[in-house]
Amino acid sequence: MKADNTDKQENIVMSVDAATVHDWIENNQALLVDVRETSEFDKEHIPGALLLPLSAFDPELFPTIRDKKVVLHCAVGKRSETAGKMLINEGFTDIIHMTGGIEEWKKAGFETEIPYHPPQEVKTPEPVFLCPPVGEVLQQEYLGPLGLSSTRLADAIGVPYETVEGILAGTTAVTAELSLRLARYFSTAADFWLQLQSDHDLEQARYKVGTEIRAKIIPRVAC
């Protein structure tokens, strides 16, 4: 209730215990106002409590409830008393705060709500590979820019069409012979294509079984 400001000095913040507040709420005689911060409220709060954080508390916007007692509460009773004094200074009367706050409420065995927040799925970051597949290099740096098809390359280096398609798809590994054929046609170093294959395979192996190998195999120490 709000009164004329001339009477505000006579008003004090009335304190009541958790048991009394619980009885009032059970009989639908009180509205509980939680002046803790949103982060605190989200972790745990009293069922039915209205959240009005003290950090943003504005007495001028405080609701006027005529048919119920309005009870302020916080964690231990300090902030709710402060909010009550702010309301008195604005001209409100019959200001009530719950001593001991939500901590005393819990000690008395009364119910609180703890919202359930399902654990967020932790996504494993996608691995970053530095050694591209041979087929990717072949397509992006040779066949594409030169306008060559798989068929033309297969004919040019003397291998079945399926072999070139396998390299591009990553299902056929480059052998020493294939490296020589590709090197001859594209004028690269003889081991260029074989080295690409080796670097890619080693990187993939490190990702898949590197940790297991390091854990299970102990380096030999010279006697």
- Catalytic site positions: 74
Structure token digits, residue 34: 């939680």
Q: List the end-to-end C-alpha distance of the chain, in Å, as a whole number.
A: 90
> Is the CB of residue 154 less than 8 Å from the CB of residue 160?
yes
Backbone angles phi and psi of 72, in degrees to 5: -90, 145
The helix (H) or strand (E) run that includes residue 88 is helix 78-89
The helix (H) or strand (E) run that includes residue 73 is strand 69-73
Structure token digits, residue 157: 């280096």
Pairing of strands 50-51, 14-16: unpaired
> Is the CB of residue 97 less than 8 Å from the CB of residue 15?
yes
Structure token digits, residue 8: 């505000």
> Is the CB of residue 127 less than 8 Å from the CB of residue 204?
no
Strand partners, 45: 113
